[in-house]
Amino acid sequence: MAVKPLLFIALLACSLPAYGARNLEIFFVDVEGGQATLLVTPAGESLLFDTGWPDADNRDANRIAAAAAKAGVKQIDYLIITHFHTDHAGGIEQLAAKMPIRHVVDHGSSVETGRSAETLYKSYEDVAAKSKRITVKPGDKLPLKGLQVEILTAHGAVTTRPGKPNPLCAGVSRKAEDKSENARSVGTLVTYGKFRFLDMGDLTWNKELELVCPENRIGKVDVYLTTHHGLDASGPAALVHAIAPRVAIMNNGEKKGGTPPAWKVVKSSPGLLDLWQVHYSAAGGSDANTDDKMIANPKGEDPGNYIEIQAQSNGKFTVTNSRNGFSKSY
């Protein structure tokens, strides 16, 4: 008996996966203590935070391109350069030579001077001139389908979004004023349904406190990329414990970041289920490194392993270590 057209269409619709069932993919690419974090949306759009270091063999650009290929994307739709330091923006020209970059996002001109700072900024401008440049301020949102990508900090300014009083601010100390690019970092909150991911580049201590004291303007998050590679110039408990991440990812190198004071603040955060690391931390030694199966690149090794997250709109997500295939769902 022939199937009626309307019935056939209904049956076909039931057999296809729903749009909302697709995952948000996040790749924490190993760029040896810099940053390159690639997000691929359920709609297939790509958002990259930073480009890692420049390298004679295109190491970081190759690793980013490999993650993009694994996710099935051939271009970077939005590239956020959190700030103009070599470990975050140095690889931009090498990456642009490998794949198209449609939009570049920044906080405005670099505040640093000197030959190396000016050379780095010019390389950024050369790429930006061939893309669409977007200079953001707190409160701005990037138009990615299915995601809310909200800018919380940029060029030293902090969002004024309302928050709740933060009791962790009582008695918290401040550090000396940071006049570098770090304090100008673009900080971003990404929301996919009930899933929330926070990336603040290398934002430093005092600016982080402005985000959460006296009110926590971020709220709680599911995944927190540790600020500034796990250096204790950033990451006050008043922020880390207030956002109460379920999972933290530390994008440290073996000899950069992952300092014991910062590591312990993250590890002791209320509600934290696990801390994953892109690298073993030499500074952390036996007391301040996470379980080996959650470290992408062990002591003395540099094969460029990455950490991957598959997040669902209902707030559930899975973290996988590419080195050993170990996965854990939350």
Token pair of 216 as six digits: 């926590």
Q: Which residue has the higher pLDDT, 301 or 50?
A: 50
Q: Enumerate residues 6+ apart whose C-beta is below 8 A from 55.
A: 61, 91, 94
Q: Are strands 223-225 and 247-250 parallel, antiparallel or unpaired?
A: parallel
Give the mean pLDDT of 200-222.
98
Architecture of domain 23-323: 4-Layer Sandwich (3.60)
Helices (H), ranges, the chain: 5-15, 59-71, 86-89, 92-96, 115-128, 205-212, 237-243, 260-267
For residue range 267-320, list pLDDT tens digits in order.
999 999 999 999 999 999 999 999 999 999 999 978 999 999 999 999 999 999
Domain definitions of the chain by residue range = 23-323
For residue range 87-138, list pLDDT tens digits in order.
999 999 999 999 999 999 999 999 999 999 999 999 999 999 999 999 999 9
- Residue 317's nearest CA partner among 195, 215, 179 is 195
